Amino acid sequence: MAAQKLGHRINRRGFLQQASAASLASLGGPLVQPSNATPTDIRRNQQSDMAYRRLGRTGFMVSEVGSGGDPVRPDNIRQIELAIDMGMNYLDMAPAYGKGECEKAYGMIVGRSSMRERVFMNTKISSFNGIRNRMYKDIYNGLPTGKQEAIVNRAAQMRIERGLEKPGYFITYFTNQARAFDSAFLTWAMMRDYSHKVEGSPEFRKFIISSLETSLQLARTDYFDIVMCPHGATGPEDVQNPEIYETFAQLKRDGKVRALGVSSHNDPAGVLRAAADTGHYDVVMMAYNIINGGYVEESIRYAAGKGLGIIGMKVAMAVANHHKDLQPVPEWRLQKIQRIVPGNLKIPQKAYLWALQNPNLSMVVSNLWDDAHVKENLSLAGKKVTLQPG
């Protein structure tokens, strides 16, 4: 086993050689590899009791169940070490999780000898949308009342026409989640007339680099396999900023990032399809579960066909939300998961098992709160089940 793990490691020199070659392609888009190019697959921490899938064109062979960042703090990492010992190889984090405490906690794990080469690490550029929205709002505040009213009316009309808050598609996973629409639609309504004053701003590059450098220090690594920008895209416009593409092309050349990704709660189907169409994104982590599945399946097939790696998040939170102010979960949701996924598993396990039946999904991220969650959720990897009518 030790020899096998050694063979799967990528040391710093080897990584830079691969990143250098990949960066040539990144000048014109993402890290492109044929979908059947198995010799280029990148394998880490492969163990017989875990199932792995290819994360799109990145070539990363990720465990079907990865570690989410919500419960990971410096005083709560033992269960993550257990999960890695069981073959889990994906660590998800963000500056917003515990104000950097999540990244710091993962750094305590990977900072140890040889541990970095056993896992894929993903962080995010939190607050990126806040910077962009603030720049548009500053312009808005300087406009005469008549123009402000026209923008507000346009934003309201766009919000109605898009219908992003329709029940079943929009699901509240955390408090104040819907507030993101307020600033987003105001920004989008202004882009037609004012994007030339915002989208090319050097402030974006400065913020991305500053955020990433802090994350690298906290996580005790000299590169991330994936960085998602923005963290929590609200709609297609959020992945259409050229400054993101240009900045990450440089970061890839510098060997600090391997793949560009984005995450989305509020319009997962729209963000996924838009990210695929840019030609710059490699990975999308999106809200995907048994409740919103019917709205996003076609976009998942579309994006997978273009080589994107797709990660399911909020898979269990639609039926087992841990936020007390969003409890209890509606009974009809619980009844639905019970009908569709047979057996005596717990509700969250059934939710993950349902998602993993989708062959276009690369993995699910799961909150691993303790050893029990690790053993229960990781045991789902590789399992097949015949889903019943809903």
- What mean pLDDT is predicted for residues 250-274? 98
At residue 40, the pLDDT reads 83
Report how far residue 190's alpha carbon sits from residue 133's, in angstroms, rounded to the nearest whole number.
10
List the domains of the chain with CATH numbers: 2-9+31-128+199-378 (3.20.20.100), 132-166+177-190 (no CATH)
- At residue 170, what are phi and psi to the nearest 5 degrees? -85, 125
At residue 94, the pLDDT reads 98
Average pLDDT, the chain: 91
The tens digit of pLDDT for each residue in 273-287 reads 999 999 999 999 999
The tens digit of pLDDT for each residue in 319-351 reads 998 888 899 999 999 999 999 999 999 999 999
Distances (CA, A) of 265 to 2, 268, 375: 39, 6, 27
At residue 11, the pLDDT reads 39
Question: Predicted confidence band at 113 (pLDDT cuts at 50, 70, 90)?
Answer: confident
At residue 9, the pLDDT reads 34
Note whether 179 and 165 are within 8 A (CB): no
Instruction: Output the CA torsion 328→334→335→336 (10° steps).
Output: 130
Of 2-6, 109-113, 243-247, the one with minimum mean pLDDT is: 2-6
Report how far residue 139's alpha carbon sits from residue 377's, in angstroms, rounded to the nearest whole number.
48
Question: Predicted confidence band at 15 (pLDDT cuts at 50, 70, 90)?
Answer: very low
Question: Predicted confidence band at 22 (pLDDT cuts at 50, 70, 90)?
Answer: very low
- Assess whether pLDDT exceeds 50 at residue 147: yes
Note whether 311 and 283 are within 8 A (CB): yes
At residue 23, the pLDDT reads 35
Report how far residue 382's alpha carbon sits from residue 350's, in angstroms, rounded to the nearest whole number.
14
At residue 31, the pLDDT reads 45
At residue 114, the pLDDT reads 84
